[in-house]
Amino acid sequence: MSTLQFKGKNIIRYHHLAVSFHTLDEVPELHFQPEKVFYISLQVFKD
């Protein structure tokens, strides 16, 4: 049975161990704020 060998195979295999783990923190300023939305009507014309 043939196997695929390429440069960097170990890097791809162990990538999850090299990347540091951190949690995602919420930023209240970036939450959706409907009062600040500028509504644009989109009209699509079909030929």
Residue type, 44: V
Q: Mean of the pLDDT values across residues 33-45?
A: 73
* DSSP structural state of residue 43: -
36: tokens are 């600040």
pLDDT of residue 32: 79
pLDDT of residue 29: 86
pLDDT beyond 80 at 31: yes
pLDDT of residue 25: 92
Residue type, 4: L
- Ramachandran angles phi, psi of 17, nearest 5°: -85, -25
pLDDT of residue 7: 64
pLDDT tens track for 15-25: 888 888 889 89
| Nearest-5° Cα angle at 30, 24 to 32 | 115
pLDDT tens track for 2-14: 776 666 778 878 8
Burial classification of residue 14, based on how many CB atoms lie within 10 Å of its CB (0-12 exposed, 13-18 middle, 19 or more buried): exposed
